[in-house]
């Protein structure tokens, strides 16, 4: 599991010079410079040049820098990957991944520029076929260890399935959980999809909290306004930190050293809760 914190992951169209320039000053954990959906066909090549320049010349500090290339079967994909010849992002994000083969093909193309396998693969799952193949795609990590992260593409998924987007995500949730379980079964990180209405603070906050409760590692974002709340929602809160410290403390007591289950404030806690508590505290320390 890649432990790099990824609570807030902001997309920015690589065709938008203002957005690329603004990136370094924003408080998100990662930026995704986009060459796909947010860039019109006529702008693909200028956006590619701008992304290469931004990735090699701008100082994004500690933030992860990710480049979203066009789909593996598009005419643009190979040239997009060639940006690795001049820049070293943390990862390439491949959209419309529907099968293990897409990961294999991307990994082989990346090998031409990055022989050590340093640049990771983030895969977007955003079609009905991707939902059905999620476990097989996640399992490719054994063969292609560049794969570290799944990203949900909820706009494409809803469109392709003919589903209306609802504020509760009632009908989408089973698919999100299927993708999440596939990611976890193979030790991958998983990032929740975007919330389009960036002026609807209340709806965004509900969806962020829903994603965090579901077990997502963070949320992909479209607007700087969304960063601060996502950082909070995907960090352990004070109650969670206090509870984690109490669990650690109760298992440290001499009378509990050899016990598997103990009582804490009227509730059973087991050693699996101790593992979870230690993870919560490690996460809190790294933020
Ligand atoms: N990344 C970086 N900066 C952004 C940004 C983004 N995604 N979205 C907006 N900004 C900046 C704007 O440049 C502007 O900066 P300035 O005031 O310093 O000049 C400021 O934030 C306020 O922007 P605002 O006027 O509210 O929005 P906008 O009309 O400029 O942009 C969108 C609205 C939706 C077009 C824009 O947010 C966007 O392109 N988002 C990402 C889209 C995307 O990548 N989609 C693909 C994945 S789903
Ligand atoms: Mg898409």
Residue 2: the pLDDT is 42
Is residue 58 within 8 Å of residue 35, measured between CB atoms?
Answer: no
Identify the domain boundary among 233, 256, 273. Answer: 233
Residue nearest to ligand 1 atom 30, measured at CA: 19
Pocket of ligand 1 (CB under 6 A): 10-13, 16, 18-19, 22-23, 34, 37-38, 194, 222-224
CB environment 131-161: b (16+ within 10 A), e (fewer):
bebbeebbbbbeebebbbbbbbbbebbbebe
Same domain flag for 206 and 276: no
In a domain, 89, yes or no: yes
Residue that finishes a domain, picked among 208, 233, 258: 233
Q: What is the pLDDT of residue 81?
A: 98
Q: Are residues 191 and 251 in the same domain?
A: no
DSSP string across 225-237: GGHHHHHHHTS--
The pLDDT-based confidence of 241 (bands split at 50, 70, 90) is very high
**Do 199 and 276 belong together in one domain?**
no
Angstrom distances, CA of residue 254 to CA of 232, 249, 251, 277, 278: 35, 10, 8, 19, 19
151 bridge partner residues: 124, 191
Same domain, 255 and 135: no
Q: Phi and psi (nearest 5°) for 68? A: -90, 115
CA distance 164 to 26: 32
Whether residues 105 and 180 share a domain: the answer is: yes
pLDDT digits 0-9 by tens, 51-89? 999 999 999 999 999 999 999 999 999 999 999 999 999
Domain assignment of residue 177, given as a range: 8-233
**Token pair belonging to 152:** 């949900």
| Same domain flag for 150 and 276 | no
One domain for residues 47 and 100: yes
Do 113 and 242 fall into the same domain?
Answer: no
Q: Please report which confidence band the pLDDT of residue 231 belongs to, taking 50, 70 and 90 as the band edges.
A: very high
How many angstroms separate the alpha carbon of residue 25 from the centre of ligand 1? 14
What's the mean per-residue pLDDT of the chain? 96
Q: What is the pLDDT of residues 104-162, one digit of tens each?
A: 999 999 999 999 999 999 999 999 999 999 999 999 999 999 999 999 999 999 999 99
**pLDDT tens by residue, 258-276:** 999 999 999 999 999 999 9
**For residue 95, is pLDDT > 50?**
yes
What is the structure's pLDDT at 44? 98
Tens digits of per-residue pLDDT, 161-211? 999 888 899 999 999 999 999 999 999 999 999 999 999 999 999 999 999
Total domains in the chain come to 2
Ligand closest to CA 127: 2
Q: Which residues contact 281 (CB under 8 A, 6 or more apart)?
A: 236, 241, 244, 245, 248
Q: Would you place residue 286 in the very low, low, confident or very high pLDDT band (cuts 50, 70, 90)?
A: confident
């Amino acid at each position: 599991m890649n432990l790099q914190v990824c609570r807030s992951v902001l997309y920015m169209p690589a065709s938008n010079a203002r957005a690329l320039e603004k990136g370094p000053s924003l408080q998100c954990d990662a930026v995704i410079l986009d060459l796909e959906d947010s860039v019109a066909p006529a702008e693909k090549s200028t956006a590619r040049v701008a992304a290469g320049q931004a990735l090699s010349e701008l100082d994004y500090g500690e933030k992860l820098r990710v480049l979203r290339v066009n789909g593996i079967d598009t005419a643009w994909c190979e040239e997009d990957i060639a940006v690795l010849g001049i820049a070293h992002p943390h990862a390439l994000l491949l959209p419309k991944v529907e099968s293990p083969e897409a990961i294999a093909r991307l990994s082989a193309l990346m090998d031409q520029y990055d022989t050590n396998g340093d640049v990771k693969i983030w895969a977007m799952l955003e079609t009905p076929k991707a939902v059905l193949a999620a476990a097989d795609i996640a399992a490719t990590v054994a063969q292609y260890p560049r794969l570290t992260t799944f990203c949900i593409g909820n706009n494409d998924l809803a469109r392709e399935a003919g589903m209306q987007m609802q504020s509760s995500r009632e009908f989408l949730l089973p698919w999100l959980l299927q993708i999440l379980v596939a990611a976890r079964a193979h030790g991958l990180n998983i990032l929740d999809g975007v919330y389009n209405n960036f002026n609807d603070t209340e709806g965004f906050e509900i969806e962020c909290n829903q994603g965090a409760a579901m077990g997502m590692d963070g949320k992909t974002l479209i607007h700087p306004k969304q960063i601060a709340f996502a950082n909070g929602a995907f960090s352990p809160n004070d109650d969670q930190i206090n509870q984690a410290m109490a669990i650690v403390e109760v298992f440290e007591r001499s009378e509990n050293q050899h016990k598997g289950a103990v009582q804490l404030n009227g509730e059973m806690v087991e050693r699996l809760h101790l593992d979870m508590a230690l993870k919560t505290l490690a996460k809190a320390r790294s933020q």
